[in-house]
Structure 1
Amino acid sequence: MTETDRGPWIVGETSDETSSKQTGRERVRAALRHRILSGDLSPNDRIDLDAVAEEFGTSRTPVREACLALAQEGLVRVAQRSGITVIGVSPETIIENFALMAALSGVASQWAAGRITHQQLLRVRELHREIRVAAASGDDIATLNWLFHREINKSCGSTRLQGMLSDAGRMIPQRYFELFPERVPCSLDEHDALIGALSRGDGAEARRITEQHFAGASQMLSTYIAQATRNGTPPR
């Protein structure tokens, strides 16, 4: 799947729709952001503009523009003499990012429990079945997982909350399940529980399950980054 300027749980266009509209700068920005957030690029790593430009089949200009945008997000440092250096993210920052997503997504699930339509709930169930089939076959579930959460977030009925989720979601690694495939079974069980809460209209339970869903993901990623930083080992 093409890397896009989105996180795995935000509301927005599908990956195919988004990638077809992205500029070279946006594609580079999204890819570099993901590599930094997932630990593929570590603090103090240098970003080679020429190498990145060659990788994405573009010139240096959109790559530099992408890095300037990432500097505004606090992920890289741009200096005239030393070039572009990765600042990276600490385990504490990862926990903070996931906490924001947990809080916003929890509210979205709570509101969705009282507002989701029959057709939307059927779509959520259908996506969950597709995720289980893909997971059982060893296929990539990232896009389906994104669509699952997207459908729930849309059903909350608040465009303002959806916009906040979109912004927060960009600070979450896109390819989370590639890093932690062992997380998939637990995630699917949590999806089951969340669908049950939505079906019953139990907003409080839907919120609790969603917040727990993100807390588990946060702990795994922050521990992984901390261990890699201490050991000086490259990400898997």
Structure 2
Amino acid sequence: MTEAEQGPWRVGEVEERTGRRRTERERLADALRERILAGELGREHRIDLDATAKEFGTSRTPVREACLVLAQEGLVRVAQRSGVTVIGVSAAATLENFTLMAALSGVAAQWAAQKITERELLRVRELHREIRVAAQVGDDVATLNWMFHREINKACGSPRLQRMLADAGRMVPRRFFELFPEQVPCSVDEHELLIDALAKGDSSAARGITEGHFRTAAELLSTRLAEQEAGSAPA
């Protein structure tokens, strides 16, 4: 898939149009970033390069390269003697990241309501049905949810906005529903409201529903991280 089609969550090992296979560095950076953003690798956690290489079935070099990418993003600290240490992401930063995603996704939905074609709307409806079925049987909702929002982002008709979404989306964990499975029913209901707004061409409603969709996720994840921060704080 192209970079413009990645937001809000990147999925897959091969870019669809170019056929370019993602490098080990990219794959490892994505996996480690996801764990940090979800709070699975907390602040001051030491990333063992050898153990990580063994886990992912690769060599030490791409793991170190991935950590350098994360260092540039401010998620880890790489030092000569102490190795790689997680800086992490605070509850406040998580809330900020989701707020940016909410604003950008809201604009994308607003524009999509004005431009979406019947074919694009049909695809959105199909993905919504797949999400509902997956939620009932316990299948992968996260990937389908990503695809659902990607179709709406594509329908906005703005490659520039899609690139901005892709950049912002790197700092938002895509496995939200794995962390908060109880939110799936609420999300499905919100998707139905969003589809209805898109079908009616109601740009104001589409934007408001989308922003609220991300706002709920922001509050849940930031609360989770705040609790983890409090639990790891010295007495």
Is TM (by shorter chain) over 0.5?
A: yes
Distance of 1:18 and 1:217 partners within structure 2: 28
Deviations 1:101-124 (A, max 9, x none): 001000000000000000000110
Match of 1:3 in 2: none
Indicate whether 1:10 and 2:24 are aligned.
Answer: no
Distance 1:25 1:115 in 2: 37
Q: How many residues align?
A: 226
> Match of 1:37?
37
Q: Name the structure 2 match of 1:162.
A: 162
1:41–1:53 Cα change, 3 Å = same
Mapping 1:65-144, distance limit 5 Å = 65-144=65-144
Specify whether residues 46 and 97 from structure 1 end up closer, same or farther in structure 2 by C-alpha distance, changes over 3 A only: same
Q: Does structure 1 retain, via aligned residues, the 8 Å contact 2:124–2:151?
A: yes
The one-letter code of the counterpart of 1:148 is: F
Structure 1 SS opposite 2:85: strand
Partners of 2:194 and 2:58 in 1: CA distance: 43
Alignment partners' CA distance in 2, 1:217 and 1:176: 8
Aligned to 2:151: 151
Structure 1 residue 229 displacement after superposition: 2.0
CA distances 1:4-63 after superposition (whole Å, capped 9, x unpaired): xx9xx7169852534971111111100000000000000000000000111111111111
Deviates more, 1:50-59 or 1:38-47: 50-59
Equivalent-residue separation in structure 2 for 1:212 and 1:12 (angstroms): 18
Q: Secondary structure at the match of 1:85?
A: strand
Is this contact kept in 2: 1:15–1:143, CA < 8 A?
Answer: no
Partner SS state of residue 193, structure 1: helix
Q: Aligned ranges for residues 150-229 of structure 1 at < 5 Å?
A: 150-229=150-229
* Partner SS, residue 121 of structure 1: helix
Gaps of 5+ in 1: 1-5
Deviates more, 1:16-25 or 1:181-190: 16-25
Aligned to 1:61: 61
Partner of 2:27: 27
On the 8 A contact 1:109/1:207 being kept in 2, the answer is yes
Q: 1:32 to 1:14 in 2, by over 3 A?
A: closer
Distance across 1 between alignment mates of 2:226 and 2:179:
14
Deviations 1:74-108 (A, max 9, x none): 00001111111000010000000000100100000
Alpha-carbon distance in structure 2 between the residues aligned to 1:185 and 1:170? 25
Q: Secondary structure at the match of 2:46?
A: coil
The 3 A distance-change label for structure 1 pair 12 and 107 is same
Cα separation, 2, equivalents of 1:14 and 1:114: 27
Say whether the 8 Å CA contact 1:95–1:218 is kept in structure 2: yes
Long gaps (5+) in structure 2: none
- C-alpha distance in 2 between matches for 1:164 and 1:50: 35
* Alpha carbons of structure 1 residues 212 and 13: separation in structure 2 relative to 1, 3 Å: closer
Distance 1:142 1:218, change over 3 A: same
Distance 2:15 2:223 in 1: 32
Q: Which residues in structure 2 correspond to 1:47-58 (within 5 Å)?
A: 47-58=47-58
Q: Distance in 1 between matches of 2:53 and 2:28?
A: 9
Cα distance in structure 2, aligned partners of 1:13 and 1:82: 31
CA, structure 1 residues 61+16, in 2 after alignment: closer, same or farther (shift >3 Å)? Answer: closer
